[in-house]
Amino acid sequence: MKNHEAVPVKILLEGNTQVGKTLIFEQIKNINDSKKKAHTKTIGMESFVREYEFVNDDSLSSYRLMIFDQAGEIRFKSTVKIKNLNIIWFVFDVSNNHSYENLQQQLDKLKENEPTSQIVIVGNIRANTSRVVEYDVAKAFADSKQCAYVELDASINEQVYSKLLNPSLKKIQDKHSELKTESSPVLPKELIQALRGHQSMLRNRWLDRRILSYIFRTGYTSKQKMDEINHFLNGEDFNENILLQGRTGKMIRKYLSNDRLLEFKKNNGNGANISHKTPKK
């Protein structure tokens, strides 16, 4: 299944000069170019925009990537503020302790300035160099700052995609799904338990099953309405004025006239004696 709407994602590359930021930048900019690229010093900030698709959980997701490569040297850094950053890749060179110390010094300020951005600490492993920053040390630091940590060779195209870009986008998508779920209507736990009890007890009661189905399907109800629904389903005395409010009330009126509802109340919930009207199409 394909998500046809491209999701805009802004990514910033941060870190010291000559740590591999521009290599990562170029790998994503030129997806089909797997050749090793010579280092070039970035002045100010470079950026590009491109469409990108990848398969996540059997779904083809589309993104509109906006990637910014920040200069490593302070004198060359851009002062432009990028709004609504989604991801920050803070890159250091595992063979360069100074670049790691810079990460330690700058990360807290970066997190303070970009509290909503996903931050990934990236340890670049350069060929033919000796590691001075051990994996366990860098990983422990990242964990202490609630950041993801990944190591890769920025000169290898496949590693940039499989270890960095795709996992970062998957996390964005998962977060988006969580927010979508959280914004969806949620029933109180007490009502869910009560409704499940009613479902098991009232399997053969035609009207009750439709009311329960409606409530579960919409997920909207107030505490006051919840109490009246419980009274209604339990065959207890209920306030029909409250019960008939809103969408749940509209659904009930679809199956019961007001007179029938009052008769239901009078009979203390004896549904067997109540005839329903044919629902409107």
Asked which of 27-31, 67-71, 104-108, 192-196 is least confident by mean pLDDT, the reply is 192-196
Strand, coil or helix: what is 203?
A: coil
Write the CB contacts of 205 (distance below 8 Å, at least 6 apart in sequence): 271
Report the pLDDT value the prediction gives residue 86, as an integer from 0 to 100.
94
Same domain for 139 and 56 = yes
In a domain, 1, yes or no: no
Region 211-228: mean pLDDT is: 59
- Give me the domain span that covers residue 42: 7-183
Number of H helices, E strands in the chain: 11, 6
pLDDT of 254 above 80: no
Same domain for 195 and 129 = no
Same domain for 212 and 171 = no
pLDDT tens for 102-133 read 999 999 999 999 998 999 999 999 999 999 99
Number of domains, the chain: 2
Quote the CA–CA distance of 177 and 169 in Å, as a whole number.
Answer: 12
In a domain, 244, yes or no: yes
Region 228-246: mean pLDDT is: 66
pTM of the model: 0.58
Same domain for 145 and 15 = yes
For 138, counting Cβ atoms within 10 Å of its Cβ (0-12 exposed, 13-18 middle, 19+ buried), the class is buried
Q: 33 vs 87, which has greater pLDDT?
A: 87
Region 240-265: mean pLDDT is: 64
Tell the residue number behind the tokens 């398969």, with chain if given: 55
Instruction: Kindly report the backbone phi and psi dihedral angles of residue 214, in degrees, each rounded to the nearest multiple of 5, phi listed first.
Output: -65, -45
Q: What CATH number is given to the structural domain containing 78?
A: 3.40.50.300
Eight-class DSSP state of 39: -
Same domain for 211 and 78 = no
Q: Give the model's confidence band at 200: pLDDT under 50 very low, under 70 low, under 90 confident, else very high.
A: low
- Alpha helices for 184-239 (secondary structure H): 189-201, 206-218, 223-234
Nearest to 154 by CA among 20, 271, 11, 33: 20
In a domain, 280, yes or no: no
As a whole number of Å, the end-to-end CA separation of the chain is 33
Quote the CA–CA distance of 257 and 255 in Å, as a whole number.
Answer: 7
Could you tell me what percent of the chain has a pLDDT over 90?
Answer: 38
Most confident of 35-39, 265-269, 276-280: 265-269
Going through 71-223 in order, the beta strands assigned E by DSSP cover: 87-93, 118-124, 148-152
